[in-house]
Homo-oligomer: A and B are copies of this chain.
């Protein structure tokens, strides 16, 4: 029958430039995986696409092993159990899995996490209640140490991380300023997410606009862009400002300006010294053991009470995942990027 076939998207080649392209991926039809004893066969419902995956395409020292050529791209998904030889799962269970860019997978039961879906779509566990949400919460809380009355700036502010960072900051009494690409995203930040100001990083006078939006300077800058945005932020950072560094989208996209008109590294280090700044890179899982429960408690309550909104940008069909991924790296997504793998 037709379900004996599965599809997957593999890494065909490593990008030769910072900018990845469609040729780096290959969509393959393979035979349906067969679970061995103790394993569970799942159907992937929704795959999460995240910027960190770009790093995995390189064969370089990073916080995670590179993806292998010819193997499925790594990724997290929400899935439905089809067959189970494990006493812990029955067909129909909704689970969180690390199965990569695939339509089906046979997985060890211990790697699966059953999801309690009460009042949420299961896909929330890929975004606001998942890795991006915890990245936002832990970077803000543990490194950003936000205090009421302070000013927070966050880039990629309609993205799954940035949108939660800004909304959490508002709930804690901070002034929240979002940076995003284009008028539509900026309007959304103001009208739907309650940000105090929203600046389009594509504006030629971006640095001036940012300065106007931060009359008392910046106390927490949640960094996920880098490059020209960072250079505009640095002069505005207040004494003892905190900078959780969560991502550098500008580097991932391969569109680095490398502006040599000024020694921007010297500007950065001088600001660090004279204003006692803290810059701290992090990966959410460094904080999982200590803080994940507190995160789920706080954010799921806010979500249930309707005090936090989340946006999903859904592409239909696993074969369209590579293009959706490249669009995300170019900032063309609007919200958490998901791929609907099965109807």
- A259-296 contacts to B, CB under 8 A, are 260, 263-266, 268-283, 286
Q: Which chain B residue lies CB-closest to A263?
A: B258
Closest Cβ of chain B: how far from A174's Cβ, in Å?
21
Give the complex CA separation of A276 and B138 in angstroms.
13
Could you say which residues of chain B place their CB within 8 Å of the CB of A63? Answer: 239, 274-276
Q: Which label, helix, strand, loop or mixed, suits the secondary structure of the A interface? A: mixed
Cβ of A299 within 8 Å of any chain B Cβ, yes or no, is no
Give the complex CA separation of A178 and B245 in angstroms: 29
Q: Residue-by-residue, is A232-272 near B (CB-CB < 8 Å gives 1, otherwise 0)?
A: 00000001000001111001000010101001111011111
Indicate whether A61 reaches chain B with its CB closer than 8 angstroms: yes
- Cα distance A99–B317 in the bound complex, in angstroms: 74
Is A62 on the interface with B (CB-CB < 8 A)? yes
Q: Which residues of B contact A280 (CB under 8 A)?
A: 272, 276-280
Q: Give the residues in chain B near A258, CB-CB below 8 Å.
A: 260, 263, 266
Minimal Cβ-Cβ distance residue in B for A283:
B276
Would you call A251 and B270 a contact (CB within 8 A)? yes
The verdict on A93 contacting chain B, using a C-beta distance below 8 Å, is: no
Check B286–A276 contact: CB distance below 8 A: yes
A230 in contact (CB, < 8 A):
yes
Contact between B266 and A251, CB atoms less than 8 A apart: yes
Q: Quick one: which of B273, B274, B282 contacts A276, CB cutoff 8 A?
A: B282
Q: Taking the nearest CB of chain B, how far is it from the CB of A277, in angstroms?
A: 5
- A243, chain B: closest CB distance, angstroms: 9
Total copies of this chain within the assembly: 2
A226 is an interface residue with CB less than 8 A from chain B: yes
Q: Is the CB of B269 within 8 A of A245?
A: yes
Contacts of A62 in B (CB 8 A): 274
Contacting residues, chain B, for A286 (C-beta < 8 A):
276
- 8 Å CB contact of A260 from B260, B274, B276: B260
Residues in A91-133 with C-beta less than 8 Å from chain B: none
Whose C-beta in chain B lies nearest to the C-beta of A282?
A: B276
Decide if A55 is an interface residue (CB 8 Å cutoff).
yes
Bound CA–CA A63/B276 (angstroms)? 9
Q: Which chain B residue lies CB-closest to A230?
A: B269
Asked if A226 contacts B269 (CB within 8 A), the reply is: yes
Instruction: Using CB atoms, name the residue of chain B closest to A62.
Output: B274
Residue in B closest to A246 when the chains form the complex, CB atoms = B273
CB distance from A284 to the nearest CB of B (A): 11
Beta-carbon contact of A266 and B61 below 8 Å = no
A227 interface hit (Cβ, 8 Å): yes
* Closest chain B residue to A235, Cβ basis: B61
Q: What are 24 of the A-B contact pairs (CB < 8 Å)?
A: A61-B274, A62-B274, A63-B275, A223-B269, A226-B266, A227-B266, A230-B265, A245-B273, A248-B266, A251-B266, A251-B269, A251-B270, A256-B263, A256-B266, A260-B260, A265-B265, A265-B268, A272-B279, A272-B280, A276-B280, A276-B283, A277-B281, A278-B281, A279-B280
Given contacts A272-B281, A279-B279, 16 further A-B contacts (CB under 8 A): A62-B274, A63-B275, A245-B273, A246-B273, A248-B273, A256-B263, A256-B266, A265-B265, A265-B268, A273-B281, A274-B281, A276-B280, A276-B281, A276-B283, A277-B281, A278-B280
6 pairs of A and B residues whose beta carbons are closest in the complex: A272-B281, A265-B265, A260-B260, A258-B263, A279-B279, A273-B281
